[in-house]
Structures are given as structure tokens and as C-alpha cells.
Chain A
Amino acid sequence: MLDIQKIRADFPILNQKVNGKPLVYFDNGATSQKPQVVIDAISKYYQEINANIHRGVHTLSQLATDAYEVARGKVQHHINAKHAHEVLFTSGTTFGINLVANGFAAILKPGDEVIVSHLEHHSNIVPWQMLCEKTGATLKVIPMSENGELIMTEYDKLLSGKTKIVAVNHISNALGIINPVKYMIDKAHEVGAAILIDGAQSVPHLKPDVQALDCDFYAFSGHKMCGPTGTGVLYGKEEWLHKLPPYQGGGEMIKEVTFEKTTYADLPHKFEAGTPHIAGGIVLGTAIDYLNSVGFENIQKQELELLAYATERLSEIEGLRIYGNSKNKTSVISFNIEGIHPYDIGTIIDKLGIAVRTGHHCAQPIMNFFGIPGTIRASFSFYNTKEEIDALVEAVKKAKMMLS
């Protein structure tokens, strides 16, 4: 059992008032809050070892390089990658997906196919559309059902020898649905296609095992898992990272440069041009340590309890509809109240100290599917409490009264 009060004490931001009310932070799907150890580690880096990495012979540069590479090792261990050089530090999930999509421009030909799903964030749609425009490949979309699940029989039908890459999220940001990624990875491999998993929404809730999953790429962000903004990871299987061309040119990513020809550095540096977010990478390691010290089993248990409680309590409200009723869900509730715009509810409950996300959640195709302008999304983290859910329910009731 987690001692929630002890956990909450780790997050200084939670202990404040917003609009005169105690903050209830339910926008964890957008970004998580940061524990004190993470905040301290950022200062400590700049106070003690700040230097550029992989190039200096001086002591600070060595210390910073070591710390950065230790962090890479932590990520490798956390996601169970076979090699540390399969872990690329990025600025976030979006960068990772763009890196892969850009690399596939060198591989795809007209007539080839790329598969995404109806449940994707725009970040996992637009780079693939751009890739298709560039190469003449065709974008195919796995449809979803009324309860927000992807239809696997339709996925099976879309796969063929023409499929070159599949890109799908592990967990949907707008609805919180957990997709059957293991099945999807195996099926993609059966037709010889590569597969990228967008893990932006999964890494705060679970520990992905990339070898067990056998995915070719797994992209995620640091800031949703208690780490700093501007950090992220792209895992890629060694053979794929050798196959893909570099994404950005610059310092760090080269072996030798002449005006006639440049040879590229080995993995992972081939994909890490320029001075990276050194503090961010190091502190992402700190965030991973923190989450593991809380324990993912504990995190999941607490979050699922919150999800069940919130689903039950919110269902008390007449006219409230929850989108995405799959049993395979993480701690996200996307809902609307009949006849009321989500923006109106979000604005009123903000005045009551409740932070939720309203709008289309960068997933307009999902909103179009349900024929709605957007939803109110409450996303819970392990540091949230049932009392906070009670506050949300009361706030939504009050907003409903004012607005109807």
C-alpha cells in the first residue's frame, strides 16, 4: 500500500492553492508534476558538473559525460533494451516519431503502405502523412469501435506485403485505452513490416519491456513520467538504427568531416547531433529511479483504484457520458455533459481549483468519430487521492448547475 500523504510530500507543487482553492491536478496526461528529487537534481547538475559532454578532456566534461551515459544505462535497464546504444535521447515523443518517419523516406516507394490507427495523437499521424506525401506511399487507418477500442480484425485485413511500417500508441491520450500492442507487433512482423509504438501515455503507468514486446521502435517523453520537459527517448532495434539515415547533421554525430564526404558516428551518436539537453537526460534517470522506488505495481494499483472510484462517482451525474468504455484502460476519464460545451465546464471548474484538460486533446479524428467538439479529460496519477475526485465531482455538479 502506498502512503499517499508521504508521496504527496515529495511533490511541492501539489501543496498550493489555485484561485483560492486547494489545487487538484488532474492534467497528468498533459504533463506530470515533478518530485523534489528531480527538481534538486537539475540544480545539482548546474551547480556541480555542468560541462559539454563527449568532447572535453577536462574533469567536469568527464563527470557530465559519465552522468549522461549512466542515465542512458538507466533507461536501457528500465525498458529492458538489449544495448545502451539502442537508447537515443530526444526532446520528446514527437521528435522520436519524426526521426523514424524521416528515416523511412529513404526506404519507402510509391505503392508502399503505412498504417496508423484512428486513436492516435496528431504527433503520430502528421509525421506519417508527411512521409507519405514525400514518398508516394499510402496511409491506412485502423478503425475504432464505439467503446474506443481498435478493431483487430480490420487491422489484420489492412496488413499486407505492401505494409512497410505500422505506428500505433500503447495507450490512447484522449481516452486512456490500452491497445493490444503485443498482438499488433507480432502481426506486423508476420508481413515483414516494422512497427513503432508511441509510448508517451504508457511510460507514466507501466514499465515497457521492449525485448518482450519485440517492437522495432518505442518513443516516449520524459516530462510525463516525472522528468523534465524537453527530454525523451527513442528506442530502436540496433539493425533498424543502422539502416536509417541520420535525422539531423551537426557536431557529435560525425566520425570524420571533409568537404568531399562525412562519415557518421556510431550509435547512438549518429542520431544525437548537437549539444543535447544534458541536464534533462541525467535527470530523466533520476525520475526513473524515483518511479521505480515508488514501484510500478503500487502505481498501477493506486491509479486503477482512482479510475474505478472516479468512474463510479462521475456516473452519478445525470447526462454525463464517458468516452472509451474499454476494460483495458488506464487512469484517464474523458467525458462530456449533455448539452454543455466542455470548454464551459473546464473554465468553471478551474475557478474551483481543478485542473483538467478540455478540447480535442490533439486527437481530432477521435472527436470527429464521436461527433463532438472535444471532451473534458481528467487524468489521474498515483499522487492523486479519492478526496480530490470528490472535489472534481462536486465541481462538475456545480458547473452543470450554473451552465444548464
Chain B
Amino acid sequence: MTIKDIQDEIVDEFSMFDDWMQRYEYIIELGKNLPLIKEEYKVDENLIKGCQSKVWLQGEKDNDKIVFTADSDAILTKGIIAILIRVFSNQTPKDIIDAEMDFIDEIGLKEHLSPTRANGLVSMIKNIKMYALAFDAKK
């Protein structure tokens, strides 16, 4: 599936919810299925700055694609990073770099893009794209 297909799928899933509580409960659910980062990678170098909670993110090259794993000490943050990983993991660096992020708005998480939220969604996206840039440059 392309990044756009996965984003559309997520937008579809979220459109079934009528209120914020259901949306948040679903995010919490998604967090439980997050592909967890290996303990050995849970080090300061993999910490994402700009989050009120701790978020570790690790990207590895698998042939021409990047596979991401992550973890967080906050449940909602775990859910949000799980959504991002579902979108970006197993994609090529170029597709990741070119990806649009409008789906965040559409699933009602726009408020998390605000810098005052301090949950670092912006930093998470930036880190994912940095991995893509780095792997793309090494090609």
C-alpha cells in the first residue's frame, strides 16, 4: 500500500467516531499495537526532543525501505506514534520525504500539531523524515 492509501484508510477508520472520547480510546488501542523499539535502542540518542513525554524512535533500512519502531512512556503519545509508524514504516525514503501530512487534520488531531501541545507530533514527523533524508543520501 502507498502512504496515501494508508492515510485514507486511517481517515476512514476515524470517520466512524462521533466524539473525541471514542477517537482517544481508539488512539489508546492503537498504542497497544505499536511495533516496539528494541530495549537496546531505547537510548538518549533515539529520544525525540520537544515532547513532554519520552518518545524513542528507531529506523532501520530493510532493502529499499525503512522500518520504524518506537516507544513512549505516555499512552496517548504511543498511540500517535503508532499511527505515524503505520503510515511511514515499510516505505521508501523518497516516498516518506514527499508525503503530505493533511490526514492529521482529517482525523481530528490537528490540535496536536500546535507547538503548545508539547507532545512533539511535529518533532516525531520531523525525525521520521530525517531518517528518510539520511537513508536517501546514503543510496
Contact = CB atoms under 8 A, between A and B. Distances in A.
Contact of A343 (B20, B25, B77): B77
A403 B20 CA distance: 14
Contact of A351 (B24, B54, B75): B24
B52 A402 contact: no
Given A358-B52, A373-B54, A343 B24 contact: no
A144 to B, nearest CB: 23
A192 interface: no
B76 interface: yes
Interface string B29-73: 000000000000000000000001110000000000000000001
Contacts of A347: 24, 76, 119
Contacts of A344: 53, 74-77
B20 A402 contact: no
Given A19-B20, A343-B53, A374-B52, A402 B25 contact: yes
A247 to B, nearest CB: 30
Interface string A341-361: 101100110010000001100
Contacts of B20: 19, 351
Interface string B112-139: 0000001100000000000000000000
B54 A402 contact: no
B73 A403 contact: no
Interface in B80-136: 118-119
Contacts of B53: 341, 343-344, 373
Contacts, number: 40
Given A341-B74, A343-B118, A344-B77, 19 more contacts: A340-B75, A341-B73, A341-B75, A341-B77, A343-B77, A343-B119, A344-B53, A347-B76, A347-B119, A351-B20, A351-B21, A351-B24, A359-B52, A373-B54, A373-B73, A374-B52, A402-B24, A402-B28, A403-B75
15 contacts: A341-B53, A341-B74, A341-B77, A343-B52, A343-B53, A344-B53, A344-B75, A347-B24, A347-B76, A348-B24, A373-B53, A373-B54, A402-B21, A402-B28, A403-B75
Nearest 9 interchain pairs by C-beta: A341-B74, A343-B52, A343-B74, A343-B53, A344-B74, A344-B76, A344-B75, A359-B52, A351-B20
A403 B27 CA distance: 11
A359 B28 contact: no
Interface residues of B, number: 15
Nearest to B51: A343
Nearest to A351: B20
A323 to B, nearest CB: 17
Nearest to B117: A347
A25 B85 CA distance: 35
A200 to B, nearest CB: 21
Contacts of B119: 343, 347
B87 to A, nearest CB: 21
A359 to B, nearest CB: 5
A21 to B, nearest CB: 11
Nearest to A358: B52
A341 B52 CA distance: 10
A402 B26 CA distance: 10
A359 B74 CA distance: 12
Contacts of B74: 341, 343-344
A305 B118 CA distance: 33
B107 to A, nearest CB: 15
A376 B75 CA distance: 16
Nearest to A348: B24
A348 B118 CA distance: 14
